[in-house]
Amino acid sequence: MSPVDGPALGRRRLRAALRAARLAAGLTQEQVAAAMDWSLSKVIRIESGAVSVSTTDVRALVRLYGITDPRQVDELVALARRSRRRQWFSSLRRNLPAPYAAYIGLEAETSFIRYFHPTGLPNLFQTEAYAAASTFRGDAHHLAVRRARQRELLNRPDPPEVVALLAEGVLRRIADGPDDLGGQLEHLRALGDRPNITIQVLPFTAGIFQFRGPFAILQFPQPDADVMFVESAVADDVIDQPEVVGAFREEFDRARELALSPAETRLLITRLIESASERGEARGG
């Protein structure tokens, strides 16, 4: 199964198609719930993509919405089938916030990721020591999910292209921090040497940006299918409004123009590694 054929994308396409069909039929969510003898929350969850929907339920909705084209019916049933396939992280979903779980599913199927993090490192780039020391989700379960994401995404045969913008202050804090975090900089440099990963540092001289927190933009082949995952200390969110995602993507690309080049970034990381090593030797001596 290719990433483009994955269950997360299938669920998104299905929920959009079902909502469009309901609106075309002139029905409200309340009317659908009453006609199907469902709770209103079930209809809302189906249309939000929070739950998968069975092929039986899809066929019932198709009849209610008056869809008679066999090809359209078959396509919707196929999407329902696809959306119910198990994903690699299915056994790890417990205790994960719904937006985070949805993001992981989409992340597994994307071909291009843009990361921005003003105060830390993306989970996919973190070493064990850095993750344990820095994240408020430092419990064993979330650390296991992070490890699995790294393994499944970065080491798959066709890994996505990744472009990450990191703040200079983040790297300098790592270099000036405890010795056991030193391996994080070497890890970053090694990741940046991979052909599918581009790491660029926003220097202090780049000024202030509109971004107020970390986010990731996932790119997909279908028009207006890109999504954005926004992280905060209070709650995470998956945003799929094309105008919002597009605005952040444009601002991200403008920020890249002010960032150090990949080669300059690698040189900075190397210098920070050497500086940290010298301070460590001085303390040891």
CB count, 10 Å around CB of 149?
18
Both 95 and 178 in one domain: the answer is yes
Domain finish residue from 83, 103, 120: 83
**The model's pTM:** 0.79
Chain segment 198-241, per-residue pLDDT in tens: 999 999 988 766 677 899 999 988 767 899 999 876 678 888 88
Both 72 and 182 in one domain: the answer is no
Please tell me whether residue 117 adopts helix, strand or coil conformation: strand
Both 8 and 95 in one domain: the answer is no
pLDDT at 199 (0 to 100): 98
CB count, 10 Å around CB of 264?
13
CATH code (residue 19): 1.10.260
Domain finish residue from 51, 83, 115: 83
pLDDT at 233 (0 to 100): 65
The percentage of residues in the chain with a pLDDT greater than 70, rounded to a whole number, is: 88
pLDDT at 280 (0 to 100): 64
Both 179 and 232 in one domain: the answer is yes
Of 201, 228, 204, 200, give the one whose Cα is nearest residue 214: 228
Please count the structural domains in the chain: 2
Using the predicted structure, report yes or no on whether residue 17 has a pLDDT greater than 50: yes
Confidence of residue 2 (pLDDT cuts 50, 70, 90): very low
Bigger pLDDT: 86 vs 20 = 20
Both 27 and 65 in one domain: the answer is yes
Please tell me whether residue 202 adopts helix, strand or coil conformation: strand
Chain segment 184-202, per-residue pLDDT in tens: 999 999 999 999 999 999 9
Domain finish residue from 61, 83, 105: 83
CATH code (residue 100): 3.30.870
Residue 176 lies in domain: 91-284
Both 126 and 236 in one domain: the answer is yes
pLDDT at 62 (0 to 100): 95
Chain segment 102-143, per-residue pLDDT in tens: 888 889 889 999 999 988 999 999 998 888 887 654 577 778
Both 109 and 217 in one domain: the answer is yes
Mean pLDDT of 146-156: 88
Using the predicted structure, report yes or no on whether residue 284 has a pLDDT greater than 80: no
d(CA 129, CA 224): 38
pLDDT at 285 (0 to 100): 53
Both 168 and 224 in one domain: the answer is yes
The kind and range of the H/E element at 164 are strand 161-167
Both 174 and 259 in one domain: the answer is yes
pLDDT at 66 (0 to 100): 96
pLDDT at 156 (0 to 100): 87
Chain segment 19-35, per-residue pLDDT in tens: 999 999 999 999 999 99
- Measure the N-to-C terminal CA separation of the chain; round to a whole number of Å: 56
pLDDT at 1 (0 to 100): 41
